[in-house]
Structure 1
Amino acid sequence: MDFEKLTQVMRRLSLEAGDRIMEIYDSPDFDVRSKSDDSPVTAADEAADAIISAGLREAFPDVALVTEEQASSHSVQASTFLIVDPLDGTKEFIKRRGDFTVNIAYVVDGEPVRGIVYAPAKGRLFYTTADGQSVEETGPFAKDTVGEVEPLAVTTNPDNNALMVVASKSHRDQATDDYIDLYLVKDMKSAGSSLKFCLIATGEADLYPRLGRTMEWDTAAGHAVLTGAGGHVVRFDTHEPLVYGKAGYANPFFIAYAPGVELQRA
């Protein structure tokens, strides 16, 4: 893979998809439908998917593509593949809360090695560069010209007596709260979508436990960004690395964290 090209293409397609998403987000009204699994979908999900899928297939025709909005791709099995969630956080989008993201990742042998997370309503853009380092670019974002970027690094020695924990806005439950209670927490943040990974990557949070259903397209891009900043994502049950390319693309429960955190077991 030409990682320089991959970074450029992922960045451009994310920005183009983000523009289309915001056109719909800023409109007076938009339709919300339910998919077969009862999860919501909007015209923004579908429009962003069309932009990203077409661009990736043109740029990388020989690389398998898995995307949330194309059920036919969910049976694809490959050791190397691109995986897309064109609009992660659809519930946040519908509620006009802004915590939604565009996500593209590249997976090799079970590991998301490159990725991009773009939050168009918040003006935040996180991605891995060609060498695998994660950065945040500050706007305004030009499609073909990279702006000012800041390398990302997790908090390497967080004080386990004062952890900053980030959790889901839409999927918080008692089991999650019970697990968080095993830690000495300084403060809590709520965030939607894959932004939770990025908050650990920037050092704004230390720990993100997820005791709920997610799919690989929900997590791969954020996982790549966090890895490129020095963080980790492991299974909740075994604390082994979370791997990708699983049959059906469903994730187990997991924990994302900065490396200085001493993980607890439920």
Structure 2
Amino acid sequence: MTYDDLIPVIRRLALEAGTRIMEIYDGPDFDVKLKSDESPVTAADEAADALISAGLRKAFPDVMLVTEEQADSHSLQGDTFLIVDPLDGTKEFIHRRGDFTVNIALVENGVPTRGVVYAPAKERLFYTTADGQSVEETGAFDLDTVGAVSPISVSEPDNSALLIVASKSHRDQATEDYIGKYQVADSKSAGSSLKFCLVATGEADLYPRVGRTMEWDTAAGHAVVTGAGGQVVRFDDHTSLLYGKEEYANPFFIATAPGVVLKKP
């Protein structure tokens, strides 16, 4: 598998999954079930997962696949793997708030090197190209023809007036306390991996996450931030956030433009 092989496949699968998700989103009421960890799952999560998993296994049968909706994959371990959250931001989907994404990423030696984040309700598509540069594509999002593509880049922040984005569904007092350590020009909330993408485009300087996440929640957004010149670091010691951890659970982390002077917890 080469990056030139990978990018068209994950772009297409993200768009196809987004179309299926929106059919359910725009349709009549849908059932919501609870998984063993009490997190919600819908028919849209399951349909998108089936579509993406089948496409990745057909295209790259020799590459390990980890996906949120397939618990058997959570015990797999390897240096190189594809990792998928077919519908990141299920709570935003359930409440029809639009801030949900399709996430597909490649991890190599603990680092998300390529990824795609598609927000179908927002009509925003972000991904890394084969050479590692992050871009935002605009247009009609044709499956076979790439539209207008613009390179994206993190901000050159003014540390006396930062733009901060935080979780919409998990914005708690611990998050507010950490944000309070900075000089803030504006603070907004967003759902799913859109927060990473706002950092990648320079629409936000800093995204702190003081709460539980899994690697499938973050890998694609992490790749997009890195490809835009940013960084994703652990909250506790500001070292790089790595992947392939036991049970794919993340520590708290910060996604940021490198010019931000990070505060200790």
- Same fold per superposition (TM over 0.5): yes
Task: Tell me the amino acid that sits aligned with residue 29 of structure 2.
Answer: D
1:139: how far off? 2.1
Give me the identity figure in percent.
77
- Letter paired with 2:192: S
SS of the residue aligned with 1:15? helix
Measured in 1, the distance between the counterparts of 2:32 and 2:72 equals 22
Q: Does 1:116 align with 2:116?
A: yes
Q: What residue is the counterpart of 1:187 in the other structure? A: 186
Q: Measure the CA separation in 2 of the matches of 1:4 and 1:195.
A: 25
- What is residue 31 of structure 1 aligned with on the other side? 31
**Per-residue CA distance 1:217-249 (angstroms, 9 max, x = gap):** 000000000000000000001111000000100
Alignment partners' CA distance in 2, 1:184 and 1:34 = 39
What CA distance in whole angstroms lies between the structure 1 residues aligned with 2:172 and 2:189? 13
- The separation in 2 between residues aligned to 1:140 and 1:230, in whole angstroms, is 27
Distance 1:18 1:256 in 2: 25
Paired amino acid for 1:28:
P
Match of 1:201 in 2: 200
In structure 1, what residue type is equivalent to 2:60? F
Please, which runs of 5 or more residues in structure 2 have no aligned partner?
A: none
Give the SS at the match of 1:6.
Answer: helix
The within-5 A match list for 1:69-148 is 69-148=69-148
- Where does 1:1-266 land on structure 2 (aligned, <5 Å)? 1-155=1-155, 157-266=156-265
Residue 106 (structure 1) shift: 0.1
**SS state at 2:91 partner:** helix
Instruction: Give 3-state SS (helix, strand or coil) of 1:17's partner.
Output: helix
Query: What SS does the aligned partner of 2:5 have?
Result: helix
**Partner Cα separation in structure 2 for residue 88 and residue 30 of structure 1:** 17
Deviations 1:153-199 (A, max 9, x none): 001x3100110000000001101100000000000111000000000
**Distance (Å, rounded) in 2 between the aligned partners of 1:16 and 1:236:** 35
Q: Which amino acid aligns with 1:92?
A: E
Report the CA distance between 1:5 and its aligned residue: 1.3
**TM-score, length of structure 1 as denominator length:** 0.99
Give me the whole-angstrom Cα distance separating, in 1, the residues matched to 2:102 and 2:84: 8
TM-score, with structure 2 as normaliser: 0.99
Q: CA deviation at 1:84?
A: 0.1
Deviations 1:23-78 (A, max 9, x none): 00001210000000000000000000000000000000000000000000000000
Structure 1: which 5+ residue stretches go unaligned?
Answer: none
The ranges of structure 1 where at least 4 consecutive aligned residues each deviate by more than 6 angstroms after the TM superposition are none
State the number of aligned residues: 265
Distance of 1:141 and 1:255 partners within structure 2: 30
